[in-house]
Amino acid sequence: MKNPTKKLSPFSIALTYAVIAGLWIFFSDWLLADVIQNSRMLTKFQTYKGWFFVAVTTLILYLLLKGYQSIMTRYNHDKERLLISEQQSRTEAENSKKQVTEILERVSDACISLDKNWMYTYVNTQAAQLFNRKPEQLIGRHIWTEFPEGIDQPFYKAYYKALEEQNPLQLEEYYKPWDRWFENRIYPSQDGLTVFFHDITARKKAEDALIKSEERLKILFDNTSDGILLADIETKRFLAGNKRICRMLGCSEEELTALSVFDIHPEEDLPYVIEQFEKLSRKEIITARHIPVKRRDGGIFYVDINSSQIVFDGKDCLLGIFRDITVQWEAEKKIRSLNEELEEKVRQRTKELETKTEELERLNKVFVGRELRMKELKEKIAELERRAK
């Protein structure tokens, strides 16, 4: 936006006034003295000259005031437009925040957000229930003041590491103060952390029990809420599976043993799936994340696969526990998209507001200087009127 007061700067007005006034006084006095010899007549004409100068000065003052009024009108209009733009930005930000909050409340995992000072800024219903608190009892409070027993625990160190390095972290750890296992997915930003977590104590106990006994393995096979598959590491064929995995894939237990890793994943994702399978078999990882699985009817769902190596019927096998994360995966994808969109809008609005604020500050400085010059001009006019009298 161009500066509307550039042509009416205080210096240019003062210089123009000084030049015109100086030329007028010099030439008018010289001309009258040269033309009129009568001193009485000269005095009379000098009086007329003074009144003429007052009239001209009044006209200039009128034009300056009119220009000032025009500038103030434009200033008020720009200010009003800026306020409307700011209000729109706030409304958009509030709507986006509300949408994100609604998504987080529908996610089955507990979710919290912390600022850089480790103060709670968001706690969803699932997290509040896990903490046995109400969300409003935690918002604005320091996490390590509310839960001092967590200091120096693995999650404590992971939070600090994620915030410092600005890298997402995922971990499963035993939380001794509560005698529970938790899985945490930690997403850092410049403003703090967002953490998704859930209690995996039951799953951990199930995994331990599966490793200890084949007999107990079968019991847990049929009663766990997650799908379980036993695959031959060498041939990648399935040797056994629980009822839950059969329901997830849409097949019977007999049909399952005729399948292999190559049969239950989309063809385009097989290279990635095989790579993850090999890493699990080499114990490079214990969990394969976001694995696409194909149902018998062609539908696709996503799972996290936690694995352990066991010997079954003399064969080295991978015992995979399939946890359906389809809803959670889609929600996290939507959240990331909304966060990126919101951050971009905030950056654009912030840049626009900064530019307009700088412009308004420059205009304000010009107006203040103009008011001082107007005051000086009024004083000079009053002085001229006194001299003219």
pLDDT digits (tens, 9 = 90+) for 1-52: 555 555 555 566 666 666 666 676 666 667 766 676 667 776 777 677 677 7
To which H or E segment does residue 189 belong? Answer: strand 180-189
Mean pLDDT of 279-293: 92
What's the pLDDT score for residue 336?
76
Determine the residue type at 117. Answer: N
What's the pLDDT score for residue 331?
83
Q: Both tokens of residue 211?
A: 């490793």
| Stronger pLDDT, 109 or 168, i.e. the higher one | 168
The total number of residues written for the chain in this structure? 389
What's the pLDDT score for residue 96?
55
Q: What is the dihedral of CA 305, 306, 309, 312, to 10 degrees?
A: -60
pLDDT digits (tens, 9 = 90+) for 64-87: 667 767 776 777 777 777 777 667
| Stronger pLDDT, 372 or 122, i.e. the higher one | 122
Question: Per mean pLDDT, which of 92-96, 133-137, 351-355 is the most reliable?
Answer: 133-137
pLDDT digits (tens, 9 = 90+) for 194-231: 999 888 998 888 888 777 766 665 666 677 789 999 99
Q: CA quadruple 94, 95, 97, 98: dihedral positive or negative? A: positive
Question: Per mean pLDDT, which of 36-40, 173-177, 368-372 is the most reliable?
Answer: 173-177
Least confident range from 122-126, 183-187, 193-197, 218-222: namely 218-222
What's the pLDDT score for residue 238?
95
| Stronger pLDDT, 359 or 103, i.e. the higher one | 359
pTM of the model: 0.38
Average pLDDT score, the chain: 80
384 pLDDT above the threshold of 80: no
What's the pLDDT score for residue 265?
96
- pLDDT exceeding 90 applies to what percent of the chain? 34
Instruction: Decide whether 108-199 matches 206-324 in CATH topology.
Output: yes
What's the pLDDT score for residue 105?
56
39-106 and 10-35 helices cross at what angle (nearest 10)?
Answer: 170
Give the rounded distance of the alpha carbon of 101 from its chain centre.
13
Q: What is the dihedral of CA 187, 193, 194, 200, to 10 degrees?
A: 80
Q: Both tokens of residue 71?
A: 């500038």
For the chain, domain boundaries: 6-101+344-388, 108-199, 206-324
> By the 8 A CB rule, do 322 and 248 touch?
yes
- The count of other CB atoms within 10 Å of the CB of residue 160 is 12
pLDDT-derived band at 333, boundaries 50, 70, 90: confident
pLDDT digits (tens, 9 = 90+) for 287-330: 999 999 999 999 999 999 999 999 988 899 999 999 999 988 88
The CATH number corresponding to 206-324 among 3.30.450.20, 3.40.50.1980, 3.30.930.10, 3.40.50.720 equals 3.30.450.20
- DSSP annotation of 319: E
> By the 8 A CB rule, do 289 and 170 touch?
yes
62 pLDDT above the threshold of 80: no
Cβ neighbors of 144 (< 8 A, separation 6 or more) are 118, 150, 151, 156
Distance between CA atoms of residues 38 and 30, nearest Å: 14
What's the pLDDT score for residue 284?
92
| Stronger pLDDT, 232 or 54, i.e. the higher one | 232
pLDDT digits (tens, 9 = 90+) for 236-256: 999 988 889 999 999 998 999
**Span 108-199 CATH architecture:** 2-Layer Sandwich (3.30)
Cβ neighbors of 31 (< 8 A, separation 6 or more) are none
| Stronger pLDDT, 281 or 335, i.e. the higher one | 281
353 pLDDT above the threshold of 90: no
